[in-house]
Structure 1
Amino acid sequence: MMITNNYTLIRKFWNTFNTQGLSVTSIFYSTDLKLTSSIQYIAKDRSKDPIYAKYLKDLTSYSKTGEDNYVESETRFAVLDGVGGYIQHGYDSSIISSRLAKYIKDYDSPSSDLKECLNTAYQQVLNDPIVEAGATTVTLSQINKVTGEMDVLNLGDSWLGVLRKGEFVEETLKQEYFFNAPYQLAKIPDNGKESNSISNKPDDADAYKFMLEKGDLVILSTDGMIDNWSRQKIANWWSENLNDTIALDVLNKKFVELVNIDSKDDSFYSEFVKEYNILTNKRYIGGKEDDITVLVVKVE
């Protein structure tokens, strides 16, 4: 006898049971999940960057999330990270991440297929005159509150992890061509600028299906967070601090503030620097200052 509401597990054993002459009876029951989410972010200070000053005349009104963006709805959640290299040619990637986020959030179809959602949203970006050029990564999830299944698409080096009882039991893997060169959805200008840039399609995204349980914490973040803190440090902090007496927004704000402090600390040994040192046989140290966006979803 197997009792489960895990569709993936049942599909896995269905044929095995049948070939052995065993009857299979499936009863799917509702997990009736309650989802509570929080979004917090801190944008990198660009006020002293001469390149941004050259192309973006009024930095005081610049995007509050920097080149990052996010989607936070009832069951659909995403983080996006605009590729900063486009500013070298005068294109602001905060625009493409913002518009792609808008179209992902607005996508409304009887189909729950995430690739259809991302393909549709990306095509709208390509047709959007507001987006002259730019590129963005995206980590996109959709949670079924009845079955507990979470579908995930990841394209690039943003991240999603499922924290359960102090450990990450599921997570996405980053997609890179080489160090610090992530997969990205791009809109290439017609004038030849950025013509050699990386340009992926939504179908290049890695697809995942995770089963959530009550008590899980789903964490989505751009690389501004995971390039600084290790998975273990993230797991330890949330496991020690998450409780029912402190609001999720309060905790997430504190978390992002702590990561931001480390990102600016020349003596902090960041994950980004660790990886760079392994690749180059160097001994650098320091945080990696970047836009930081963290979206957490508490599953109850």
Structure 2
Amino acid sequence: MITNNFFQFEQYYNIFKQKGLLILALSYSTNLKLTSSIQYIPKDRSKDPIYAKYLKDLNNYSKTGEDNYVQGETRFAVLDGVGGYIQHGYDSSIISSRLAKYIKEYNNSSNDIKDCLAAAYQKVLEDPEVEAGATTVTLSQIDPSTGEMNVLNLGDSWLGVLRDGEFVNETLKQEYFFNAPYQLAKIPNTGKESRSISNKPEDADAYKFNLQKGDLVILSTDGMVDNWGRSKIADWWSEYLTDDCDLDKLNKEFVRLVNKDSKDQTFYSEFVKEYNLLKNSRYTGGKEDDITVLVVKVD
């Protein structure tokens, strides 16, 4: 009788799977093992005249540029400081690093990332070391016992879930207009506050995804997705990701290749494609920027 029930369960599970229903997926997603890797290459600010003018000591510049990240056991995030603040003399690597710090430190039994982001942002506003600046944020929390992943996305950083060679889930960027993302800000007193973009944590888009064994979760700042498109990202990871791969080594090579294309003026980047559509132009070239990629392998 037990055997018959098992085969009946398996039969119904296959039917649901074929029809694209995920009702029973959680039964196959318990006790997941998460392995993560963080890799980054910051943009060379020493060659940028604006940064050279406003940053007195580029040697002390953040090792991740204006990007930052959270790499916990179950909580993961990428953040991208908004570079426009440098023209007012403010370094947005500070606000992105402090927000990352407070996100990592937040501890609540509910693990509610909405509460986490709100509390972390409030601490940033109260932090005297953060004079001014703004940052985007993509924040995720994974429950390994169920496979449920909650995600908040504010701005143009990105999270995608790669499964069987394609992205089955991803976040959508939030922009007011081209290259003007939603952002959490601490506005300086310059007399131009009304023209500054400033969002609240509750403006973030919320997602809930169910993970399965074999999935790869990719979080990145726009320095990656502004260069490589979804199909190129999926094809590369699908070709090289294996059960026994060195995830750090693989991620390092991935970031190296994206960074190489970002500096290639003959490369047809996603950023240029979008710009050409808007302006009816025919430019080519990569978009040089800070690149941060955090991957989570689900086993």
TM normalised by structure 2 equals 0.91
Take 1:29 and 1:48, find their aligned partners in 2: how far apart are those partners?
A: 51
Amino acid across the alignment from 1:130 = E
- Alignment partner, residue 291 of structure 1: 290
Partners in 2 of 1:189 and 1:41 — Cα distance?
29
Task: Report Cα offsets for 1:237-273 as digits up to 9, x if no partner.
Answer: 0000111343100000000000000000000000000
Distance 2:29 2:264 in 1: 47
Question: Given the superposition, is the C-alpha separation of residues 194 and 292 from structure 1 closer, same or farther in structure 2, using an over 3 Å criterion?
Answer: farther
Residue identity in the other structure for 1:231: R
The residue number in structure 1 matching 2:119 is 120
- Amino acid of the structure 1 residue aligned with 2:188: P
Counterpart in 2 of 1:162? 161
Q: Which residue of 1 aligns with 2:141?
A: 142
> Contact 1:93 / 1:135 at 8 angstroms: preserved in 2?
yes
Identity of aligned residues (%): 80
* Aligned amino acid, residue 221 of structure 2: T
CA–CA distance in structure 2, aligned partners of residues 30 and 273 of structure 1: 39
Deviation string 1:148-191 (CA, Å, 9 cap, x unpaired) is 00000000000000000100000000000000000000000134
Asked if the contact 1:189/1:195 (under 8 Å) is kept, the reply is no
What amino acid is the match of 1:237? W
What's the CA shift string for 1:118-151, capped at 9, x where partnerless? 0000000000001000000000000000000000
| Contact kept in structure 2, 1:188 and 1:195, CA below 8 Å | no
Pair 1:279-2:278 in alignment: yes
- Partner in structure 2 of residue 22 of structure 1: none
How far 1:30 moved relative to its partner? 6.4
Q: Is the 8 A contact 1:86 1:194 kept in 2?
A: no
Q: CA deviation at 1:9?
A: 6.0
* CA shift for structure 1 position 192: 2.4
Letter in 2 for 1:251: L
TM-aligned CA distance change 1:9 to 1:215, over 3 Å: closer
Residues 234 and 68 of structure 1, relative CA distance in 2, 3 Å threshold: same
Higher deviation after alignment, 108-117 or 227-236 = 108-117
1:188 equivalent to 2:184? Answer no
1:165 and 1:194 map into 2 onto residues whose CA distance is 47
Distance 1:54 1:195, change over 3 A: farther
Question: CA contact under 8 A between 2:153 and 2:204: conserved in structure 1?
Answer: yes
Q: 1:47 aligns to what SS in structure 2? A: helix
Task: Output the CA distance in 1 between the equivalents of 2:29 and 2:153.
Answer: 27
Letter in 2 for 1:76: R
Shift of 1:113: 1.3
Counterpart position of 1:265: 264
- RMSD of aligned residue pairs (Cα, Å): 1.8
Match of 1:15 in 2: none
Q: Deviations over 1:63-91 (max 9, x none)?
A: 11000000000000000000000000000
State how far apart, in whole Å, the 2-side matches of 1:111 and 1:33 are: 19
Instruction: Name the counterpart of 2:6.
Output: none
Tell me, in whole angstroms, the C-alpha distance in 2 between the residues paired with 1:28 and 1:269.
Answer: 43
Q: For 2:114, what is the secondary structure of its paired residue? A: helix
**Counterparts of 2:89 and 2:129 in 1: how far apart (Å)?**
14
Unaligned runs of 5+ in 2: 1-8
Tell me what 1:47 maps to.
46
2:88 partner letter: H
Q: After TM superposition, which residue ranges in structure 1, 4 or more long, deviate above 4 angstroms?
A: 1-4, 27-30
Q: Give the Å deviation of 1:57.
A: 1.2
Q: Pairwise mapping of residues 86-235 of structure 1 onto structure 2 (< 5 A)?
A: 86-235=85-234
Determine if the alignment matches structure 1 residue 241 to structure 2 residue 240. Answer: yes
Q: How many residues align?
A: 282
Specify whether residues 117 and 282 from structure 1 end up closer, same or farther in structure 2 by C-alpha distance, changes over 3 A only.
same
Shift of 1:114: 1.1
1:82-126, Cα deviation, whole Å (9 max, x unpaired) = 000000000000000000000000000112211110000000000
Contact 2:29 2:213 in 1 (8 A): no
Partner of residue 70, structure 1: 69
